[in-house]
């Protein structure tokens, strides 16, 4: 029997999986920042066995990343089964199933990366799929909230282009920027495309934030997310500049230095948060703000508690 009521424990568990996935993104960034990608030269075994290797040097980062990935995979399977059992919305159940497929594909890409000695296209695909998987889990955390509905009365969008379109464009731009960053980190090409595109991302984030604060400042859900998005952008720009300086200073060092590892890893982590925040803002915009020509003026609707 499928229950249709809100399940607070399912929502809390989904948040737990999202946090674990974010830690996995950080663990993956630590592998790259420490040049530890081939510290364990085989897959799925570690040095020919499934036993725990000595967690020293790069092995600690590479094998630790695999352990966290395995844990996230198990958590994701449990989440998908729980959604299939408890959530009556078919599209949510399918999203949970897609998360399982994504984590399996991510493991396979990780294995191919090791077995073929870190080919840039596969390594970049591995990094980008990690971001998409994180976004999928964050989406499930949003959709399992008690008050989440799509079919609510919408607020009219008074400006052009529509806020919906600007929000989607911002999220897509951030993801492309993360792809360019991954290509640089995995030696696909130079850093300049990543640096130049950062200006477009900054403009998009500021555009969507200005739109929210000018047209929807009385909607706390949108206002808080726009403020968070802007704050994360400023932090990310600061970390990006710091990462560039640290990489230049450490390029002739025999091994990655701790300051470079810290800044570059933080840069990847904040990038993931920036993408997830923009995605959640996009969901909120589609939930609250109507499509042009279809919206029902509803400024009296209280969205502050949802």
Closest by Cα among 35, 135, 19, 23 to 69: 23
**Contact assessment for residue 197 and residue 177, using Cβ atoms and an 8 Å cutoff:** yes
Q: In this predicted structure, what is the pLDDT of residue 294? A: 59
Q: In this predicted structure, what is the pLDDT of residue 296? A: 53
- For the chain, the three-class secondary structure string (H helix, E strand, C coil) is CCCCCCCHHHHHHHHHHHHHHHHHHHHHHHHHHCCCCCCCCCCCCECCECCCCCCCHHHHHHHHHHHHHHHHHHHHHHHHHHHHHHCCCHHHHHHHHHHHHHHHHHHHHHHHHHHCCCCHHHHHHHHHHHHHHHHHHHHHHHHCCCCCCCCCCCECCCCCCCHHHHHHHHHHHHHHHHHHHHHHHCCCCCCHHHHHHHHHHHHHHHHHHHHHHHHCCCCHHHHHHHHHHHHHHHHHHHHHHHHHHHHHHHCCCCCCCHHHHHHHHHHHHHHHHHHHHHHHHHHHHHHHECCCCCCCCCCCCCCCCC
Domain 150-306 has CATH 1.10.3300: no
pTM above 0.85, yes or no: yes
Non-local CB neighbours of 128 within 8 Å, separated by 6+ positions:
175, 178, 179, 182
Tokens of 196: 């130049």
Q: In tens digits, what is the pLDDT along the chain, a chain of 306 residues?
A: 344 468 999 999 999 999 999 999 999 999 999 999 899 999 999 988 888 888 998 999 999 999 999 999 999 999 999 999 999 999 999 999 999 999 999 999 999 999 998 999 999 999 999 999 999 999 999 999 987 888 777 888 888 899 999 999 999 999 999 999 999 999 888 889 999 999 999 999 999 999 999 989 889 999 999 999 999 999 999 999 999 898 888 777 778 888 999 999 999 999 999 999 999 999 999 999 987 665 454 444 445 444
Q: How far is CA 9 from CA 15, 16, 116, in A?
A: 10, 10, 42
Query: For residues 61 and 108, what is the distance between their CA atoms, to the nearest angstrom?
Result: 18
Q: How far is CA 47 from CA 52, 68, 159, 224, in A?
A: 10, 18, 60, 48
**Contact assessment for residue 27 and residue 60, using Cβ atoms and an 8 Å cutoff:** no
155: phi then psi, degrees, rounded to nearest 5: -85, 140
């Amino acid at each position: 029997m499928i229950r249709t009521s809100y399940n607070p424990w399912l929502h809390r568990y989904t948040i737990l999986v999202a946090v674990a996935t974010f830690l996995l993104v950080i663990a993956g960034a630590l592998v790259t920042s420490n040049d530890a990608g081939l510290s364990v030269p085989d897959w799925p075994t570690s040095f020919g066995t499934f036993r725990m290797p000595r967690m020293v040097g790069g092995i600690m980062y590479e094998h630790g990343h695999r352990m966290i990935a395995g844990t996230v995979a198990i958590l994701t399977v449990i989440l998908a089964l729980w959604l299939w059992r408890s959530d009556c919305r078919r599209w949510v159940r399918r999203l949970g199933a897609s998360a399982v497929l994504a984590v399996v594909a991510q493991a396979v890409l990780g294995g191919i990366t090791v077995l073929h000695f870190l080919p840039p296209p596969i390594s970049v695909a591995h990094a980008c799929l990690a971001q998409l998987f994180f976004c999928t889990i964050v989406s499930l955390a949003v959709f399992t909230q008690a008050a989440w509905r799509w079919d609510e009365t919408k607020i009219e969008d008074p400006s052009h282009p529509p806020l919906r379109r600007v929000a989607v464009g911002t999220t897509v731009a951030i993801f492309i920027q993360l792809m360019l960053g991954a290509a640089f980190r995995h030696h696909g090409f130079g850093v300049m495309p990543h640096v130049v595109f950062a200006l477009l991302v900054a403009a998009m984030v500021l555009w969507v934030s200005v739109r929210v604060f000018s047209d929807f400042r009385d909607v706390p859900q949108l206002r808080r997310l726009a403020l968070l998005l802007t704050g994360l952008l400023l932090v990310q720009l600061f970390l990006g500049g710091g990462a560039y300086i640290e990489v230049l200073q450490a390029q002739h060092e025999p091994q990655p230095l701790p300051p470079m590892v810290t800044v570059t890893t933080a840069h990847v982590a904040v990038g993931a948060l920036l993408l997830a925040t923009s995605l959640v803002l996009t969901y909120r915009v589609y939930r609250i703000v109507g499509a042009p020509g279809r919206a029902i003026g509803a400024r009296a609707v209280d969205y502050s508690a949802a």
